[in-house]
Amino acid sequence: MGKLSRVKQIVTDKRWWSFYLQRRITTPARRAWIADQFVRFKPKAAIVDNKRGDEGLMNLRNDGIHLLGSLLSAAQCEELREYFSNREVRDPYRAGEGPFLPLSDQRPKEAHIAHHDADDIIVAPYLLDIANDPRILDVVGKFLGCKPTIGYMATWWSYPTPLGPQQAENYHRDVDDWRFVKLFIYLTDVSEESGPHKYVLGSSSQPKLTDIRRFNDDEVSDTFGAQKIKTMLSAAGDGFLEDTYGIHKGQPVKNGHRLLFQVVYTLTPLPYGPKSPVMQRDNDKNHDAWTNRVYLK
């Protein structure tokens, strides 16, 4: 996208105004106070299981991460891998390369990730139901302090390249909304060789390294201590919730590839989510209209 087109997009889409405003405040305590003011005007969360919500809230507030265990079976993950391997992807950092099948020789050798389109994600097996699973929404609602908005969903492949760590493969903080939490589900087994997610426990509430930039490994280790860095090794189907205002990265893939599904739960719609809903709401599924308003109409 050219600079002029980018400016036009920001000026004409009000979602970008709030997005850039909140990025100017990087102190965790100030962000939390402002988020609390927004929450007062949002619909209240429908908590089904207070015990589950309280446990998740405690883990997210203290450590920034809450493990959910197995959310999809091995057979379901295999079905999803088959589904996505037959749908085209794009490298978001090399838009001029055009689309390609994720496991084909068409992939540019420098491409370390490739994303699927929203239209393919929304109709993929299981994923919309998982994003609306009460076990997850209980925790998310407690953490946000209101009924969640599914602001963005993403499915992407990660690959090895000769270039070393690129973009989010370096430590960083996400600054998506005043308060937000992300669901990650591995759709492939993830070992040390296949790009595990790394997270600095407790960093989401720490006023250290709050610049919006990439941080090197030594900088993070020296600031927080190597013992605080959690490496997420797991089988396909396992999921976790994470406050990614905390410092994190995706380790570069060394061998094979990694497929991951992510949901971003927010207070407000995000500017990089769909401009308009991509699918009719299925009343039989009972997906909440507010929570799903970005994707379902």
CA distance 57 to 36: 15
The model's pTM is 0.94
**What confidence score (pLDDT) does residue 285 get?**
67
Residues in the chain: 297
Phi/psi at 147 (5° precision): -65, 130
Which stretches within 86-133 are classed as H helix?
A: 118-122, 127-131
CA distance 152 to 118: 9
Element of type H or E holding 17: helix 15-22
H, E, C per residue of 68-90: EEECCCHHHHHHHHHHHHCCCEE
**What confidence score (pLDDT) does residue 51 get?**
85
Provide the token pair at 160: 């090895």
Determine the average pLDDT of the residues in 180-188. Answer: 98
Per-residue pLDDT of 33-86, as tens digits, reads: 999 999 999 999 987 888 888 999 999 999 999 999 999 999 999 999 999 999
CA distance 211 to 23: 10
Q: Bridge-partner residues for 65, per DSSP? A: 242
Question: Would you call 92 exposed, middle or buried from its count of C-beta atoms within 10 A (0-12, 13-18, 19+)?
Answer: middle
Region of 274 (left: φ > 0; alpha: ψ -120 to 50; beta: rest) is beta
Per-residue pLDDT of 131-144, as tens digits, reads: 999 999 999 999 99
What's the CATH architecture for 3-285? Sandwich (2.60)
**What confidence score (pLDDT) does residue 283 get?**
58
Tell me what percent of the residues of the chain surpass a pLDDT of 70.
95
Domain ranges of the chain: 3-285
pLDDT, mean over the chain: 93
